[in-house]
Structure 1
Amino acid sequence: MTTTVDRPTPGAPGPSATASGTPADAAPAVDVAALGELLLGRWAGTRRETRRMLLDERLHKHENLTHQDHRERVLGQLHLLVEHGAMSRGLPEAYGGHNDPGGNVSGFEELLLGDPSLQIKAGVQWGLFGSAVLNLGTEEHHRRWLADIRDLRIPGVFAMTEIGHGSDVASIGTTATYDPATEEFEIHTPFRAAWKDYLGNAAVHGRAAVVFAQLVTLGVNHGVHAFWVDIRDEDGAFLPGVGGEDDGHKGGLNGIDNGRLHFTRVRVPRTHLLNKYGDVAQDGSYSSPIASPGRRFFTMIGTLVQGRVSLDGAAVVANKAALAIAIRYGSERRQFNASSDVQEEVLLDYQEHQRRLLPLLAETYAMNFAHQELLHKYDDVFSGREDTDENRQDLETLAAALKALSTWSALDTLQTCREACGGAGFLTRNRLTSLRHDLDVYATFEGDNTVLLQLVAKRLLTDWSNEFKQVDMGVMARYVAGRATEATFHRSGLRKLGQAFRDTGDVRRSVNALREESAQRALLTDRVQTMVAEVAEALRPTAKLPRADAAALFNEHQHKLIATARAHAELLQWEAFTRGLEQVEDPGTRTVLTWLRDVFGLRLIEKNLAWYLSYGRLSMRRGRSLDEYIERLLARLRPHALDLVEAFGLEQGHLRAEIATGIEAERQEEAAAYYRRLRASGDAPLKERAPAREQATPAAGAPGEKAPEDKKEEKKKERKAEKHAERRSERSSEQKAERTHERRLELRSLKKAETTERAKTGKAEKTQKDGRGVPEPPEDSAQESADKSAEESAAGTGVPQEA
């Protein structure tokens, strides 16, 4: 295990023996090499080969280029990929490939480490343009174009998105109208909003495009289909009828020449229709192996799922790079001297710094394991081993769910890491800002994340509905009754009352109830199931409503739908992480990864704590214990943070961030050595002293700082003086109390004597009165009242009064 701190993290609890059987008094260690192999997954060899290739400086991003120069550099990098044979793995063997879809995507994802523009331009050429020909075309198209696409002799454009329609592809405005007389399609953009936009390779480099358009033949619109359209000649000039514009400088990915295309009645041969799922005969008659237009459309679009799979994996790579930079820097950078007068604190020893970075590390591990499962499913389908309609639908849903969460996570992680590195993180040479800008659009292209989650939610509702189509009325009645009972149990507080009763007297019981794998699974699963059931019940009337009313009802519940899909996707990541733990053989590594998985799961519950409390799934005591236990887990993980990022296997040539090279540790040692020499020389200037009560602890290593022995002696003197002053104050108070007590006794004695004297005088006066019959006037009552008031005042305030 890598040593990362100079002293133990204060208050960090010892490891648990329940996670993996590791003794509680033994500090677990991470097997970095074995963990790194696990993270690389099935295509570890391909990833390592791509990373070795990316150590070539020619494949790195240069930050100071104009966007025009950056575009040309990236085009040159694509030719280097061709020389390496790096992008042909997914092609059939007949066309120089390896029929390895999973390996092809694995290598593509790693290209982000060189330059995200390189990754995306490669994705446009081979992942979109080339895949469209491969998956939507037939053997004739493969023989004609695949080799030239593979070798970059035909740089291509994937022309689907329009100015007017991005996510709603089914409503695009471009048309492809068939003319039986000439056996040609006429490609036309009838209005400005139908122009194709945001297209990679469109502004400068593209020579052909796969254009998506509404296929119209014999007066019938058969929906969206794909067509091969040549757009430029050998000299780069637009062909007749084709026009375009440059999108110009963007917020990121400026190595890609994005642009617009428009078509004015451009004629293409009938054979340029990519006709795997729909064909037009010479006479204009249409045929398709899929009768339903809707199902045919989604089948065609589904073949292009590779882009979403790739972006999910690329987001994982981005997170790994960002966290490797930030955690290495946070393990070296020191600020403030909270626990030592000599040494400042390492940033990652601060609890809040752990709170910022380590949950993101846990999330990245969850993303990694979930992406591996997605990649396996993609390979199974596109290699043909398990290519069924059901598996394709599952793949599309899983890719949509994970791509949304991972690309959002990448943006959050990059921003948090940038802030955690302070001013150094804002410098371009440390890459975090550059990566953040380039990945910004990942949340939008290949499907807007919010729209993708809505698709996931619809699939969940469909599955829910299908479940109940297969049950009889008795089962349905029992389900409804069970739901009512469950709602009563949870929302009446009975569940929380039971939890509170079981947890009474010991907060550890609350923690133990949440740390178990089964408890986390139950909470996460229950939330998804409850949310799906509630939304499904709310939307049940839509089947009988007019279209407009049904749309309005759906819109009223859209936010809940998207929240449901997100909860489902988070559960998928947690389950994948848990299955990943089963592959870990080393006990120490399994213990540390279990803590990491628990952080991920409990953070999901913590983020949605309001839901769990309001729905009665958690008691207040257990809700409060979440925060405390997460912080305990983070303290346990702190000594392993560097090992967990070292397992990513990223070298300096991949990160290329100055603050991740160890330079900060060298700076810290240089400063410490300087102040040690200064103190030893005796030439350090004296530090201005404030009054004892107001002195602040001086910064470590400040010029003129006194030796630790002198400081201790001064503190002893200060404490002695304070105690002496306290004792004098106590003695003064005691003396005042004694004087007050004595005065009270004196007053009481005087009053008693006075009363006795008055009694004697009274008797004598009475005798004289009886003898002479002349009464004497009484004593002055006002003076007696004043004497009594003085006595009461003295008794109440402790201040002596004159009698």
Structure 2
Amino acid sequence: MLQTGRVALSCGAVASARASLSIALSYARQRRVAVPDRGTAAMLECWNVQHDLLIGLARIQACTLFGRFVQERFSEEGDEERERLSLLAMLLKPYISRTAFEIIQTCRERCGAQGMFGVNRIPEYLGTCQAVMTAEGENQVLQLTAARRLVMGEHLRTPSEGTDAARTEGSSLFAERARRLRTRIAQGLEAPLGPGEDRFERWNAWSTEAIALAEAQGEALALECLQVALRAEVPSSEGFRTASAVLRVFVADGLRRHAGWFQSEGLLGAEEARRLDVELREACVELLPHVPRVLESFALPEALREAPIAAPEGYVEAWARRFR
């Protein structure tokens, strides 16, 4: 029951992030801001807003698919077998609940003062997500436990296990990051103890890297879920183009966030690292026309996105109606 609760709470946090993104994107399409030469433009046309919300969309789509993958594995097994899947749950909860929190916070900030009003739902979702990160096991405690089990060589069920899903070069780097962190920690723990040093001191010294390992493994699993979803689409279909654009943004963003680590490991050249900003911008341009399709795939109940700033008739009219 504990593992099931972790999975359910985590997926609930991601649902809150999906609703927050839907609200923020609706507002960003309507809200006009002053820009050079043109006078005004929709907020979503501004790169700083577009960048944040589209990255959020790609990351939450990955979290959604990761959550569904784990839910399906749990639904297929009995109580005894579910305990064997506990490592998946321990990786899932910290990764997707923390990602959901970051995305909801970004939505709140990009919506400006409107993002602070409870009636616009986002602050409520943010509070819920904060609670999830410490419920059924505080996130860092779960990451440390999961990392220890990974280092000990426990088998991990993966989304592409038993399939022929191919990896892109960029996505292979995500898996390689987790592998190298796991190997490095294992070697550090196996080294002879120093004078007066005990096992706890040794593990404690590696705890920061252990948390990074759990985060890296969670991100690699989420990416695999995107790859499996892409492979399920007909190559010439709109669904394939949408899934491909989401995957491209997710990979470009992840490589950019961890570029320093990849460079220090010799996995990414200086010129490749410099190009990541351009790649991310091009990926977001590719994803932008597919945003309605991604939001439609979220299948959000209208009640979850009922907010003046997401009203179909426009947020100005929605606010005016409330005060009439």
- In the TM superposition, residue 666 of structure 1 has moved relative to its aligned partner by 5.8
Change (3 A) 1:547 1:592: farther
- In the TM superposition, residue 569 of structure 1 has moved relative to its aligned partner by 0.9
For residues 373-384 of structure 1, the aligned pairs below 5 Å read 373-382=69-78
Q: Give the whole-Å Cα distance in 1 for the aligned partners of 2:57 and 2:261.
A: 25
- Structure 1-normalised TM-score? 0.37
Q: Could you tell me whether the CA contact under 8 Å between 2:91 and 2:215 is conserved in 1? A: yes
Q: Give the whole-Å Cα distance in 2 for the aligned partners of 1:655 and 1:665.
A: 13
- In the TM superposition, residue 377 of structure 1 has moved relative to its aligned partner by 1.1
Contiguous gaps of at least 5 residues in structure 1:
1-302, 466-515, 671-803
Q: Give the whole-Å Cα distance in 2 for the aligned partners of 1:650 and 1:449.
A: 27
Structure 1 residue 412 corresponds to structure 2 residue 97:
no
Match of 2:90 in 1: 400
Change (3 A) 1:547 1:658: farther
Which residue, out of 559, 565, 571, partners 2:214?
A: 565
- In the TM superposition, residue 626 of structure 1 has moved relative to its aligned partner by 0.9
Question: For 1:760-800, what per-residue CA distance to the aligned partner results, in whole angstroms no more than 9, with x for missing partners?
Answer: xxxxxxxxxxxxxxxxxxxxxxxxxxxxxxxxxxxxxxxxx
Which residue, out of 198, 203, 217, partners 1:554?
A: 203
Which residue, out of 296, 304, 307, partners 2:5?
A: 307
Contiguous gaps of at least 5 residues in structure 2:
156-165
Structure 1 residue 428 corresponds to structure 2 residue 118:
yes
Structure 1 residue 645 corresponds to structure 2 residue 292:
no
Q: Could you tell me whether the CA contact under 8 Å between 2:229 and 2:243 is conserved in 1? A: no
Code of the aligned partner of 2:248 = D
Code of the aligned partner of 1:574 = L
Q: Could you tell me whether the CA contact under 8 Å between 1:371 and 1:402 is conserved in 2? A: yes
- In the TM superposition, residue 663 of structure 1 has moved relative to its aligned partner by 4.2
Code of the aligned partner of 1:370 = F
Report the number of matched residues.
308
Which residue, out of 342, 345, 353, partners 2:49?
A: 353
**Larger helix share, 1 or 2:** 2
For residues 40-439 of structure 1, the aligned pairs below 5 Å read 303-341=1-39, 344-382=40-78, 387-388=80-81, 392-393=83-84, 395-439=85-129
Code of the aligned partner of 1:349 = E
Match of 2:271 in 1: 621
Which residue, out of 234, 240, 243, partners 1:590?
A: 240
Q: Could you tell me whether the CA contact under 8 Å between 1:324 and 1:645 is conserved in 2? A: yes
Q: Give the whole-Å Cα distance in 1 for the aligned partners of 2:301 and 2:38.
A: 34
Q: Give the whole-Å Cα distance in 2 for the aligned partners of 1:547 and 1:379.
A: 48
- In the TM superposition, residue 648 of structure 1 has moved relative to its aligned partner by 1.6
Structure 1 residue 580 corresponds to structure 2 residue 270:
no
Code of the aligned partner of 1:340 = R
For residues 427-466 of structure 1, the aligned pairs below 5 Å read 427-463=117-153
Match of 1:506 in 2: none
Q: Give the whole-Å Cα distance in 2 for the aligned partners of 1:562 and 1:517.
A: 25
Change (3 A) 1:518 1:439: closer
Which one has more relative contact order, counting CA pairs under 8 Å at least 6 apart?
2
Q: Could you tell me whether the CA contact under 8 Å between 1:404 and 1:443 is conserved in 2? A: yes
**SS in structure 2 opposite 1:305?**
helix
- In the TM superposition, residue 564 of structure 1 has moved relative to its aligned partner by 1.0
Q: Could you tell me whether the CA contact under 8 Å between 1:332 and 1:662 is conserved in 2? A: no
Q: Give the whole-Å Cα distance in 1 for the aligned partners of 2:60 and 2:307.
A: 20
- In the TM superposition, residue 518 of structure 1 has moved relative to its aligned partner by 2.1
Code of the aligned partner of 2:176 = D
Q: Give the whole-Å Cα distance in 2 for the aligned partners of 1:437 and 1:464.
A: 34
- In the TM superposition, residue 549 of structure 1 has moved relative to its aligned partner by 1.5
Match of 2:160 in 1: none
In the TM superposition, structure 1's runs of 4+ consecutive aligned residues that sit over 4 Å from their partners are: 544-548, 665-668
Q: Give the whole-Å Cα distance in 2 for the aligned partners of 1:307 and 1:405.
A: 15
Match of 1:599 in 2: 249
Structure of greater Rg? 1
Q: Give the whole-Å Cα distance in 2 for the aligned partners of 1:374 and 1:527.
A: 22
Match of 1:102 in 2: none
Q: Give the whole-Å Cα distance in 1 for the aligned partners of 2:22 and 2:307.
A: 10
Q: Could you tell me whether the CA contact under 8 Å between 1:324 and 1:646 is conserved in 2? A: no
- In the TM superposition, residue 606 of structure 1 has moved relative to its aligned partner by 1.1
| Aligned residues with identical type, % of pairs | 26
Q: Give the whole-Å Cα distance in 2 for the aligned partners of 1:377 and 1:547.
A: 45
Change (3 A) 1:615 1:361: same
Q: Could you tell me whether the CA contact under 8 Å between 2:10 and 2:132 is conserved in 1? A: no
Q: Could you tell me whether the CA contact under 8 Å between 2:97 and 2:132 is conserved in 1? A: yes
- In the TM superposition, residue 430 of structure 1 has moved relative to its aligned partner by 0.4
Q: Could you tell me whether the CA contact under 8 Å between 2:19 and 2:300 is conserved in 1? A: yes
Code of the aligned partner of 1:565 = A
**SS in structure 2 opposite 1:335?**
strand
Question: For 1:474-508, what per-residue CA distance to the aligned partner results, in whole angstroms no more than 9, with x for missing partners?
Answer: xxxxxxxxxxxxxxxxxxxxxxxxxxxxxxxxxxx
- In the TM superposition, residue 331 of structure 1 has moved relative to its aligned partner by 1.0
- Structure 2-normalised TM-score? 0.88
